[in-house]
Amino acid sequence: MPAEWEQQSMVMLTWPHRETDWLPYLTEITETYIRMADAITRHEQLVIATPHPIQVGALLSGRLPQKQMSNVYIYHCKTNDTWARDHGPITLVERDTHKRTLLDFRFNGWGEKFEAALDNKITSTLHKEGAFDTEQGNTPRLVDNDDFVLEGGSIESDGKGTVFTTEFCLLAPNRNQPLEKEEIEDELLHRLKAERIIWLHHGQLKGDDTDGHIDTTVRIAPDDTLLYHKCYNKDDEQYADFLALEEELKTLRTIDGKPYRLIPLPQPDAIYDDDDRLPATYANFLIINDAVLVPTYAQPENDKMACDAIAKAFPDREIIAIDSRIIIKQHGSIHCCTMQLF
């Protein structure tokens, strides 16, 4: 499983529409998706799944330069929601031949919390339509993993055989029971062709529907770097948990036995929807070719600190800030909305 910063062939989006939970703020979330599409197509191809391909195509044609529209490929798919990170394919690449294999795991709405039958079919539908073919005509093999629940947001790869995940997500109810932790680890090692799994035991955002996806708290960057969510406010309800996460990260070692380089990302000031705290985080950024899309929350000091920290980890990439306040109303952010393919 490649590291996210390796050369990508495309990014996938599943477009919001009236039949999703985005209906109350469909105009706002559509504008955010247009901004993401604009940023992505400046650097690489974009595949879009939507029940309304004609409307989405017309919308983007009116907003993006023609040169960028040549990077847009839109396919008809019935969808429940928009979280491509969790229903999209996970790419494996053979290092010698660069042959790609796409893994299509079962997506069951984060442990059967939400209806997901349509979303679980998106990857296979797109593959049949040739959506994941490259310009060289390279059609990747799709491997059906519908006997195993795994969401893309729950794993991080360093591209060198180490996969990070969290215990509280992969062991959560209605995922892969009755499998025990050791059995789930064996499945991950085999299916992801990994050499080791690092399980994290701390760091769970309030308001997170996913039971603690790692892409909201700890992200891998080049040179054995870990970017992680850090709470500086001792009075915050999340302070103790994220302090424990920081201490846990300090004990980790690379596959070569060296400590990781740690770069903290500030916790955004708490954001609420009525009385519900939303899972705002800067860790949910998307790495694309030559750029990083960073979620921001109209908090100038925190936003700048986060962008500077991510720029430190990716000094050769453009940092593109995307206001993500509307995305977190549905308890996700930029990385959750997207899936890169290699």
In percent, the amount of the chain with pLDDT more than 70 equals 99
The Cα 21–Cα 226 span in angstroms is: 33
pLDDT of residue 245: 98
Whether the model pTM is above 0.85: yes
CA angle 84, 4, 299 (to 5 degrees): 75
How many Cβ atoms from other residues are within 10 Å of residue 182's Cβ?
A: 8
In angstroms, rounded to a whole number, what is the distance separating the alpha carbons of residues 110 and 177? 13
Structural element, H or E, at residue 104: strand 100-106
Give per-residue pLDDT as tens, 230-257.
999 999 999 999 999 999 999 999 999 9
Q: Judge whether 129 and 142 are in contact, CB under 8 Å.
A: no
Q: What is the pLDDT of residue 138?
A: 76
- pLDDT tens, 74-109? 999 999 999 999 999 999 999 898 899 999 999 999
pLDDT value, residue 136 = 67
State the average pLDDT over residues 196-200: 98
With cut-offs at 50, 70 and 90, classify the pLDDT of residue 139. confident
- Confidence band (pLDDT; 50, 70, 90) for 185? very high
- Band (pLDDT 50/70/90 cuts) for residue 50 is very high
Number of H-type helices and E-type strands within the chain: 11, 18
Which residues lie closer than 8 Å to 270 by C-beta, 6 or more apart?
A: 236, 277, 280
The confidence band for 263, taking pLDDT boundaries of 50, 70 and 90, is very high
| Model pLDDT, residue 134 | 79
Spatial distance between the Cα atoms of 227 and 306, rounded to a whole number of angstroms? 10
Query: Which pLDDT band holds residue 159 (cuts at 50, 70, 90)?
Result: very high
> What's the Cα-to-Cα distance from 149 to each of 9, 48, 103, 109, 144, rounded to whole Å?
25, 23, 12, 10, 11
Question: What pLDDT, on a 0 to 100 scale, did the predictor assign at position 137?
Answer: 67
Burial class (CB in 10 A: 0-12, 13-18, 19+), 124: middle
Who's near 21: CB < 8 A, 6+ residues apart? 81, 330
Please state whether beta strands 318-323 and 291-296 pair in parallel, antiparallel, or not at all (unpaired).
Answer: parallel
Residue ranges of the alpha helices (H) in the chain? 26-41, 53-61, 66-69, 84-87, 109-112, 122-128, 167-170, 181-191, 239-251, 300-313, 334-337
Report the distance separating Cα 235 and Cα 127, nearest Å.
48
* Contact indicator for 165, 214 with CB cutoff of 8 Å: yes
- Exposed (0-12), middle (13-18) or buried (19+): which is 75, by Cβ within 10 Å? middle
Q: Can you tell me the mean pLDDT for 304-323?
A: 98
Q: What is the pLDDT of residue 342?
A: 95
Let me know: does 156 contact 215? Beta carbons within 8 Å: yes
